[in-house]
Every structure is written in C-alpha cells, then in structure tokens.
Amino acid sequence: MSELVDEGPDPEFEQLLEFLKETRGFDFTGYKRSSLRRRIARRMQQLSFTGIDEYLDRLQVDQEEFTRLFNTVLINVTGFFRDHDSWVHLQHEVLPRLLSALRPGEPVRVWSAGCASGEEAYGLAILLAEALGPEQFRERVKIYGTDVDEDALATARQAAYTDKELEPVPAEWRERYFDRNGQRFVFRPDLRRSVIFGRNDLVQDAPISRLDLLVCRNTLMYLNAQTQAQVLARFHFALKPGGALFLGKAEMLLSHARLFVPTDLKRRFFRKADTVGAAPTVIEPVYSTSAAATPRIEDEALMSSPVAALAVVPDGVLGLANRRAETQLGVSARDVGRHVGELELFAGLPELASAVDQVQQQRGSVALHEVEWTHNNETLHFDIQLVPLPAGPRGVASVAVFFTDVSRYRQLASELEHAHRQVESAYEQLQSTVEELETTNEELQSTVEELETTNEELQSTNEELETMNEELQSTNDELQSINDELRDRTSELDDTNDFLQAVLESLRSGVVVVDSELMVQAWNHRAADLWGLRSDEAVGRHLLNLDIGLPTDRIRPIVRNALTDGRSGTDGEDRALSRTDDQTDSPAPAERVALTVEAINRRGRTVRIAITVDPLRYRDRDRSGAIIIMDQLDDLAP
C-alpha cells in the first residue's frame, strides 16, 4: 500500500473533495486527510493515474467511477457479532441495565451508525429479541441502521446472508431468526419490520434522537479530531440520560470525558455524562481596611500596591492613580483631576468607560477578562476589576479600578495550548496507527478467507493445467518453428528496408513521397539539399505547409492526378497549370515531366526545377500515394 505524506492543504485534493460534495453529496472534508489520500491514491493507482486532475476528469465523464471510489474510501468491513467478547458484555451487562431503567411498555430506540451491509443492526435485533421476547420486541423496539453508502444500505435492506456470513451466529439463533431462501438465509420478516435503514451522513445530517443505545464501531477513526468532536457532540444530544455508547476497538474517546464516561474501556462501552461541564466562576478581589490603620498607611499601601489601581469620582474625573498605574498604564498623579475621557487609557479601551458607567448605575462589581493594552511598544493583558465605592453626596458612587497583569499567565496558557495541540497531534498519530493496524488486520482476515477459497479452486485448476501442459508443450514446438520463420522474415525485411533506403538516398534527384492526404512520408538527401529541410523536419508534415522555395500550389493539381492514378480529375485550370513553355527545356522525356517551375533553393538562388509525379500503388486498393521527383535544370541567378 502506497503512503502519501501530508504536507499541508493540497488545493487539487481539496478541489476533488469539494467536487464529490457538490455532485454526489458526500462530504469528506471532515475526514482525516492521510486516510483519504491513501484510499484515493489506491484507486488512482488501479487506474494508472498519476495526477488528481486526470482522475477528476475521469469522474466527470464516468458516473460509475463514483461507486467504485466510494467502495474504496468507505471500507465496509462488518460482520455478525464482530469482537465476540464485547457483544457478550452487551448482552449480559449493558442491555439488562438499559432495559431495567425503562418503564413497562416504554419504547426502546437503538441507532447503528455506519451499519454497512446490516449485520450489526440485525445482531442488535437478535440480542433485544432474546432479552424481551419476539412479541415485546415487535411492539417496543426500533433499530435504525444508517450509512452513507447506498449500495451497502441496499444489501442491508434485503436482509439475506450466506451460510459463511452467518458462521458467527450460534446455530440455535440461526434456526430461530433466519429462514432459508435458496442458497441464502433471510432475517425473519415479522422482526425485520422493526429494523429501519436509511442514509445519514454523521458529519452533515441531524442525529436520531431519544436513543437508549448508540452503536458506532470503527467509523469515527476516519474523521479528524475536530470533526470527531462535532459528531460526538451530536451523539451526546442523541442519547437519553444514562444512554450507552458502543464504539469499536480502534476508537479510544479519551479526550471527550466531559461528554461520555467509560463503563468498560477495554470493550469500548461508554455512558452519557450527566452534565457537560459547569460555567467558570469569577472570583472578585476582596479587600478591607483595618480600623486601626492610619490614613497615611492606607494611602501608602495603595500607592505601593503591585496591582495598578485607579479611582474615578462621580463626575467622571480621575481621583487617584497609584505608582504601578503610571509604569504599566501611563496614568500618573499628574492626570488626577482630568476627565477620564481625555486619558489615552480610556480612549484606547472604550469598554472600560462603559464598565465604569455600569458600576455607577448598578452599584455592583464588573469584571473584564484578558483586556489587551499596548503602552511604550509593549503589549500587556489585564484582568480588570471595577468595584463601587461609597456613594457621594449626590448619590453617585465612585469607582475603584484594579488592573491585574495576566500577561505571564496568558503566555503560559498559550504555551499550554501549544503543548496540548502537540499532545493531540501525537495522540491522533497514535490513533491513526491503531486504525491502520485494525484496518490492515481486517483486510488480512478477509484476504485469508479469499485465499482459502482460491486454494480450493487452484487445486482443481492444477489438474486441468497438468492436462493442458502437454498440449502447450506441443503448441510451444509449433510456436518455436513459427518464431524461427518470423525471425528470418524480419531479417529479410530489414535488408529490404536498408536496400530501399540506399536506393532512395543514391538518387541524384530530390524524391518526396506523400500519402493520399499529402502528408510527407519520405524525404531523401537530395530534397534536403535543394530546400534546406532535413528529413526529420519534413516527414509527417503536410506538403503544402512546408516552408520551402518550391511553389507547391502549382504542383498540387498533378499530385492530385497521380493520387487518382492518372484519371482525369482536374479542371481546365489545373491542366493549364501543368502546361508551360518551360516544359520544352526539360531534360527528361516529355511524357515523364509533368511540370517545370522556377523556385528558390536553400541558398536563396532562383533555379528551374523539373517536377515529375508518379502514383504510388499499393496492393491494398484503399490506400494511395504519390512519388514526387525534383531535378534542378539550371541556375537562373545572375
């Protein structure tokens, strides 16, 4: 299996995912890119595609390729009671607890998310029918099986399985819950009505609600951490209080303890958490003044406090600023008596002025968290606490404002978040490795079963091959004789080609061979010497498009005549073009010279050229061509 290295967002790959979402409604954008790239790369290798753009073109013209791609990406690996120990725990521990918590006659709702071809959903139906009895099962139970693969859902709705697929089902359950239909076994129709299948995309579609049990085994492992969190939040909403979540071996769920509490981590059973979490508590600073303290000590303690402090009197005027406020906020004792609206601090933090007004009106404390302030090219973060002071004569309270520097804690929180992301990344890599091992194990198990079947077929095939081997031996002798004969004929053909090439190159005349479309097939050395075009520059091009000094438009009629094997096929103008006064000067026999023209040779000199055109006759009457022979008569240049 080839491995693609994740090097960040790939525009072409993301375009492919967006195309799948828009055209078929499959949203893979929340899936892990490493797994998706591996699956799609495997499909592209099967088709010998090297680029995503080529594969995107294939999807646009071949609608069946969508199905083959989805079967590759969405590995529908399932079976009855897979991981037997976990299903035993579900039967004897989890289901009795869930059913005992329900009132008599209360409905039982179960969701099998990512059900593939339905074995898991029917396995749940068997366990619930055993626990409740068939009659209670039909009246109370609804099992919803969902998947994004329509082909897998179509198989699930048929509820028909082979004897091999039912091997994990105990014999007594097979007899009780399945009816034979030819070579397959069909789930009991009266119980089948309680199992409902439908398409549901866990990433996009709304979840099924009011569930007692939710089973989603080895489906979350294909999603990235963010998408997993979204899906798990939906699962939490879908389950009733105390509802159970049953996951696959490859899914740990360690980072979502606030949503689900593990009841059996080894077998991957979880219970919906009663509370998601409490809101954080704001702790306001508490301060008091000793009755025995003198005013001078109080003032000095405030002015020397390591916490920046301001006091705003009822008229919105700054009444006090301690030393720490001067160094951190740029507000000093010189600003006392100024309206706070004139201060740089309040102008840069408009929420601070609003908080002062709120404290004065409501007579209650207000807290602002992690407010950013830049002073002297230094950016700081403060938790700001505003506390009302005793009201003045007009009933308006003054406000004490305390600035607690939390920049260091903000930096530590940032570093902690970075470390958390690294841990998440390491955990995701570990989970991805576990997923790969799990997937590989399932694929290997499937391969072993296929190999066992193939081995039996090979044994019978081997006997046939032994019989065929003797026939092939005699055929091989005949082929050897044919091969020797072909080798001799190939040698003769090479000699003939060499001979024809030597004849063509030995002629003193320029020789050009064209096919019925006037495409140049041969161009000898003399033609190259006349017109300055090498053979590789002329062969394969249209004769009339060659950039040479020969007036090719004048020789076109006689070439057309030759292509029709001399039959009269040109009009009067063409015949007139083939007769010129220069023909009397041709050194060749009159009946052989079709045309004499003036041309410019490769040296740029004007020369007279005698043109002779003969038809090229093939044994195949559907093919035709012409041989053009060019002889330089004399040089007309001064």
Q: Name the residue range of residue 340's domain.
A: 301-405
> What pLDDT is stored for residue 405 in this prediction?
87
- Say yes or no: 510 and 380 in one domain: no
Longest dimension (CA), the chain: 142
- Residue 560 placed within a domain: yes
In a domain, 4, yes or no: no
- The pLDDT value given to residue 4: 33
* Domain match, 429 and 574 both: no
Q: Is the pLDDT of residue 257 over 70?
A: no
The answer to whether 600 touches 594, Cβ cutoff 8 Å, is: no
Residue 496 forms part of a structural domain: no
Number of domains in the chain: 5
Report pLDDT digits (tens) over 16-34.
878 877 776 566 665 667 7
Q: How far is CA 479 from CA 67, 485, 490, 493, 573, in A?
A: 44, 10, 16, 20, 59
Listed residues 376, 405, 434: the one ending a domain: 405
For the segment 339-392, what is each residue's pLDDT rounded down to a tens digit? 888 888 888 888 888 888 888 888 888 888 888 888 777 888 889 999 988 765
Do 400 and 412 belong together in one domain? no
Q: Does 569 score more than 50 pLDDT?
A: no
49-68 pLDDT per residue, tens? 888 888 888 888 887 787 67
Closest CA to 263 of 94, 81, 87: 94
**pLDDT (tens digit per residue) in 187-215:** 999 999 999 999 988 888 888 889 999 99
Q: Do 390 and 425 fall into the same domain?
A: no
pLDDT value of residue 635: 64
The Cα–Cα gap between 491 and 485 comes to: 10
pLDDT at 151 over 70: yes
Helix (H) or strand (E) holding 179: strand 178-181
Q: By the 8 A CB rule, do 196 and 225 touch?
A: no
Q: Match 């290295």 to its residue by tokens.
A: 5
pLDDT (0 to 100) of residue 636 = 62
Task: Please enumerate in sequence order all residues whose Cβ is within 8 A of that of 164, keeping only pairs 6 or more positions apart, or say none.
Answer: 449
Q: What is the pLDDT of residue 465?
A: 84
Give 343-354 pLDDT, tens digit per residue: 888 888 888 888
Give the percent of the chain with pLDDT over 70. Answer: 84
The reply to whether 484 falls in a domain is: no
* Domain match, 92 and 216 both: yes
Residue matched to tokens 């077998």: 267
Mean pLDDT, residues 489-500: 88
Domain boundary among 375, 405, 435: 405
Q: Are residues 145 and 239 in the same domain?
A: yes
As a whole number, the mean pLDDT across the chain is 81
- Could you list the beta-strand ranges (E) of 291-365: 308-312, 318-321
Instruction: List, for residues 393-445, the tens digit of each pLDDT value.
Output: 555 678 899 999 888 888 888 888 888 888 888 888 888 888 889 888 888 98
- 296-326, pLDDT tens digit by residue? 566 667 777 888 899 888 878 888 888 888 8
Task: Choose between 334 and 181: higher pLDDT.
Answer: 181
Average pLDDT of the residues in 465-486? 88
Can you give the CATH number for the domain in which 44 is found? 1.10.155
Phi-psi region of 337 (alpha: psi -120 to 50; beta: other; left: phi over 0): left
User: CA nearest 544: which of 564, 568, 527, 519?
Assistant: 519
User: Looking at this protein, which amino acid is placed at residue 133?
Assistant: G
Q: Would 79 be classed as within a structural domain?
A: no
Q: Are residues 130 and 265 in the same domain?
A: yes
Q: Is 431 within 8 Å of 423 (Cβ atoms)?
A: no
Does the residue 610 lie in any domain? yes
Q: What does the block give as tokens for 54?
A: 């080529």
Query: 583 pLDDT exceeds 60?
Result: no
Closest CA to 351 of 328, 368, 326: 368
Please tell me which residue, 503 or 1, carries the higher pLDDT value: 503
Most confident of 138-142, 233-237, 259-263: 138-142
Quote the pTM value.
0.41
Confidence at residue 179, expressed as pLDDT on a 0 to 100 scale: 93
Q: 248 and 141 share a domain?
A: yes
